[in-house]
Each structure stands twice: as C-alpha cells, then as structure tokens.
Amino acid sequence: MEGTQEEFAIRVRDLVVGFGRQTVLDHLSLDVRRGEILGLVGASGGGKSVLMRTIIGLIPRQGGTIEVMGQPIGGRTLGAATTWGILFQQGALFSSLTVRQNVQFPLRENLVLSQELMDEIAIAKLEMVGLRPQDADKYPAELSGGMTKRVALARALALDPPILFLDEPTSGLDPIAAGDFDALIRTLQKTLGLTVFMVTHDLASLTTVCDRVAALADGKIVAIGPMRELLQSEHPWVRAYFHGKRSQMLQHQMR
C-alpha cells in the first residue's frame, strides 16, 4: 500500500546510475520511513555507497526520481547540508583540524555564528556522542578508531539534520566498541527523532538496531523488511548472505 508523502523521509523510484558502460543501480526503488533505522546490505562493489552518494546528490543519475523529506533532489545538485548528516565509509576527519574544529566545520560552512556559540555547540555535540570536553583539543591522529567514528558522528549532527546517513559505521571497531556505537545510534535516533539510513555488514547491528533491512542485489532492492523477514527471503543472494556458512556460524554464536 502506498503511504502518504509525510510517512517517508526518502523515496527513490526507478533509479538508474552507472559509470561508462557499467550499470550499478538498475531501476532501483526504495522507501525510507520517517524515524526508522534502515539497514542496507549488499555485495561488496554492489552499489551501496553509490546509492547513498546518489541520494545526497554527489553522483548524477541517468534515470529515476529521488525525494528527500518531500523535496525532489536534482540530478547534479548538492543537497542542503541541513537536511542530512553523513558518516562516509572512509569517514576521514580533517587531519590538520582539531576535534572541535572538525565538528564546527559544517557550522562555519553554512551559518554565521559567534566563536563562543560555535564552541558551545561543538562541546554539546561531543557530549551527545559520548566524548568529553577535553577531547575537543585533540587532533585526529590522537584518537582511537571508536573516538574517530564518534567525532565524525558529532560533525554529522552539527547542523541538527533530520536524516543521518551512515556508511559502515562500525567497520574496523572491536565488537564492544561496535556495540556501544550501535547503542549510541539507537539512543540518538530515539531522542532526536532521526531517520537513519545505514549501510552495514555487521549482523549484530542489523539484528539489534535496524527497524528494517533492505538487500541490494543486481542493482535493485530485492528484499526489504524486518530482519526476521529477511531471514525468510527466498532470493538466492539474500539466502546466501544470511544463511551462508560464515553468517550461520555468527548467528549461532549470537544465540
């Protein structure tokens, strides 16, 4: 059943994206509901990052339509930074800037605020992601992997966007740090009412934080629903992904 427009944060219809002769997304359609955490899985090189980058207008599309918060996204335009925050897969912080300056970067780019107010905002955002005020003066090279992700998250939240895009946020973290990060995402989503679009390979994240999971294969969304429904999917790639030897072992260990 088609819902009302207000029900969806992101609506993608018949999206076609390619590079040269390679078609990456082939008439892909996807709805992200407002306030949900949607997980996206798919083969490596399957187009997950391309989908995310196309939605935010960084990659031009050859066909289809994209609506974010009810507004159409132009083919080549950069979207408003106030609508979404992004944690990129190679989520590099600016290495020559301190944590504080990194978090303030979107503020400087988009608003005219006093230094005092920007400092207050930076500290508030750092606290929001579980970092201490004294971390603000550190440089990226002085941070652990988990801290780096948190700073990138604080930067993504700097402008209070309603939508958060996360591209493999827990990759490279140990299971405890990854679990903490998942819990943080869940808390932020609840308290701020965020819509979260998260690319992840992390079965624990998919199972514990995602309201729904979408599977990308052959350039399309081939299955979408709560994790328990995905586990029932008959699609060959989805079956292989969740019921292959490696994931069976992990699921067994998770019980």
**Three-state SS string across 110-160, please?**
HCCCCHHHHHHHHHHHHHHCCCCHHHHHCCHHHCCHHHHHHHHHHHHCCCC
Binding ligand ATP (rule: CB under 6 A), the pick from 46, 57, 106, 146 is 46
Segment interacting with ligand ATP, rule: CB under 6 A, options 8-16, 44-52, 226-234, 246-254: 44-52
Asked if 87 touches ligand ATP (CB under 6 A), the answer is no
- Helix H or strand E segment including 15: strand 8-19
With contact defined as beta carbons under 8 Å apart, do 230 and 215 qualify?
yes
With contact defined as beta carbons under 8 Å apart, do 46 and 237 qualify?
no
* Residue 39, token pair as written in the block: 């997980």
Segment interacting with Mg ion, rule: CB under 5 A, options 46-54, 137-145, 171-179, 219-227: 46-54
Binding ligand ATP (rule: CB under 6 A), the pick from 15, 24, 147, 166 is 24
Q: Which is nearer to ligand ATP, 50 or 69 (CB)?
A: 50
Tell me how far, at minimum, the Cβ of 44 lies from Mg ion, in Å. Answer: 7
Q: Which is nearer to Mg ion, 122 or 215 (CB)?
A: 215
**Residues in 60-119 at the binding interface with Mg ion, rule: CB under 5 A:** 89
Segment interacting with ligand ATP, rule: CB under 6 A, options 41-49, 172-180, 207-215, 234-242: 41-49
How many Å apart are CA 85 and CA 81, to the nearest integer?
Answer: 7
Asked if 219 touches ligand ATP (CB under 6 A), the answer is no
Asked if 45 touches ligand ATP (CB under 6 A), the answer is yes
- Helix H or strand E segment including 42: strand 37-42
Binding ligand ATP (rule: CB under 6 A), the pick from 9, 15, 50, 126 is 50
Q: 105-128: b or e for each residue (b if 16 or more CB lie within 10 Å)?
A: bbbeeeeeeeeeebbebbbebbeb
